Amino acid sequence: MKNAINDHKGAKEYIINNQLKYTFERPLSLLEADFWVNTVENNERRFLMYTIIQFSPTGNANYIAEQLARSLGNQTKVLPLEHTDASKLEKGNHLVVVYAIHAFNAPRTVKRFIKNLPIDLYKQVSLIGVGCNTSWANDSASKDVRKILNNKSYKIIVDKVIAMPLTFIMSFPDDVINAQLTKALLDIEQISKDIEASNISHKGIAFKSNIVTFIGRAEPFASRFFGLELHAKKGCTQCGLCVRECPKKNIKMITEGKIHFGFKCIMCMRCIYKCPVQVITPRISKFIPISKGYSISNYLKDK
């Protein structure tokens, strides 16, 4: 074991294989014990300062979550919301929820996750909505999530929107997307500093923003019908990828390999863009998916 580089909240801090590790050589006070999360690794405890939960149907919010984790350092883990049971999360210091904005709101899957989050699990929570712009229209996107968190007495630190490429109806031009990606990295740097310093940073919300968020609450209902419109055209190879990937488990492979779409759709576009042979399409609202598909990786090649 190398020499400890620091004495930190009752633990000796070491760097082993480029990772910060902590060992405890005396019993911790109640305050210290509360500060540490017990992730036991080879008899060492690793302190998890930040837990990032991402809900990212088509990859943008996941990119933001990964970049934020890089910026916050190796005391951070990123978990996909759709595979995480909120009621079974470990106690921690700071929870960051990074979610795609749908119809000026957090998707209903995100709201349900926050509803299931036990009281007192984290000291602080931050919210990052990932939309396609940072105009006033998205300012109120976190409204319902904030309300649930406030009812559970959670302290909200950062509540911000980051703009990333649009993932439905149309693609932004490449120069707009490049500018968005550059700005997103700058935003992440600032958000990361605010989270580390526990700087409360959210702006006042204009009345008109609350109105569009209110109207947007109709979208979760409409999106269920979008799901009923979806079908797999001739050419489906029955690979099952869409069934595995749907965040709502809304797709089933029924008899003779036929693909069936149910009534739980959130209109997230994932199945449409992930299908390797591009055969998933709505019967009527054909203008909603981007015809050439969407993948964030296409825009990150030069980054």
Ligand X SMILES: Cc1cc2nc3c(=O)[nH]c(=O)nc-3n(C[C@H](O)[C@H](O)[C@H](O)COP(=O)(O)O)c2cc1C
Nearest to ligand SF4 of 184, 265 (CB atom): 265
Residue 224 Cβ vs ligand SF4, minimum distance, rounded to whole Å: 9
Q: Is 269 in the site for ligand SF4 (CB under 6 A)?
A: yes
**107-113 long-range contacts, CB within 8 A, separation 24+:** 107/55, 107/57, 107/220, 107/266, 107/268, 108/220, 108/266, 109/55, 109/81, 109/82, 109/247, 109/248, 109/266, 110/55, 110/81, 110/145, 111/144, 111/145, 111/148, 113/53, 113/55, 113/81, 113/84, 113/86
Q: Which residues pair with 7 in a beta bridge?
A: 12
List the one residue from 268, 282, 290, 299 that touches ligand SF4 (CB under 6 A): 268
**Residues ≥6 apart with Cβ < 8 Å to 302:** none
Q: Is 241 in the site for ligand SF4 (CB under 6 A)?
A: yes
Q: Which parts of this chain interact with ligand X (CB under 6 A)?
A: 56-61, 100-104, 130-133, 138, 164-168, 267-269
Sign of CA dihedral 146, 151, 153, 154: negative
Q: Which does 265 bind (CB under 5 to 8 A by kind): ligand X, ligand SF4, none?
A: ligand SF4
Q: Which does 160 bind (CB under 5 to 8 A by kind): ligand X, ligand SF4, none?
A: none
- 294 vs 218: CA distance, rounded Å: 25
CA 42 remoteness from chain centre? 30
Q: Which does 131 bind (CB under 5 to 8 A by kind): ligand X, ligand SF4, none?
A: ligand X
Residue 179 Cβ vs ligand X, minimum distance, rounded to whole Å: 15
Nearest to ligand SF4 of 164, 232 (CB atom): 232
Q: Which does 166 bind (CB under 5 to 8 A by kind): ligand X, ligand SF4, none?
A: ligand X
Residue 245 Cβ vs ligand SF4, minimum distance, rounded to whole Å: 6
Q: Is 81 in the site for ligand SF4 (CB under 6 A)?
A: no
Q: Which does 61 bind (CB under 5 to 8 A by kind): ligand SF4, ligand X, none?
A: ligand X
Nearest to ligand X of 49, 158 (CB atom): 158
Which helix (H) or strand (E) covers residue 229, if one does?
helix 219-229
Residue 216 Cβ vs ligand SF4, minimum distance, rounded to whole Å: 17
- 246 vs 278: CA distance, rounded Å: 15
Q: Is 108 in the site for ligand SF4 (CB under 6 A)?
A: no
Residue 54 Cβ vs ligand X, minimum distance, rounded to whole Å: 8
Q: Are strands 6-8 and 230-232 parallel, antiparallel or unpaired?
A: unpaired
Q: Residue 68: exposed, middle, or buried by beta-carbon count in 10 A (0-12, 13-18, 19+)?
A: buried
Residue 73 Cβ vs ligand X, minimum distance, rounded to whole Å: 23
Question: Residue 282, SS3?
Answer: strand
Query: Euclidean distance between the first and final Cα of the chain, in Å?
Result: 38
List the one residue from 141, 280, 290, 296 that touches ligand SF4 (CB under 6 A): 280
- 183 vs 164: CA distance, rounded Å: 9
Span near ligand SF4 by CB under 6 A; candidates 38-46, 59-67, 230-238, 294-302: 230-238
Residues lying near ligand SF4 in the complex (CB under 6 A) are found at: 227, 230, 232, 236-242, 246-248, 250-251, 259, 261, 265-271, 275-277, 279-280
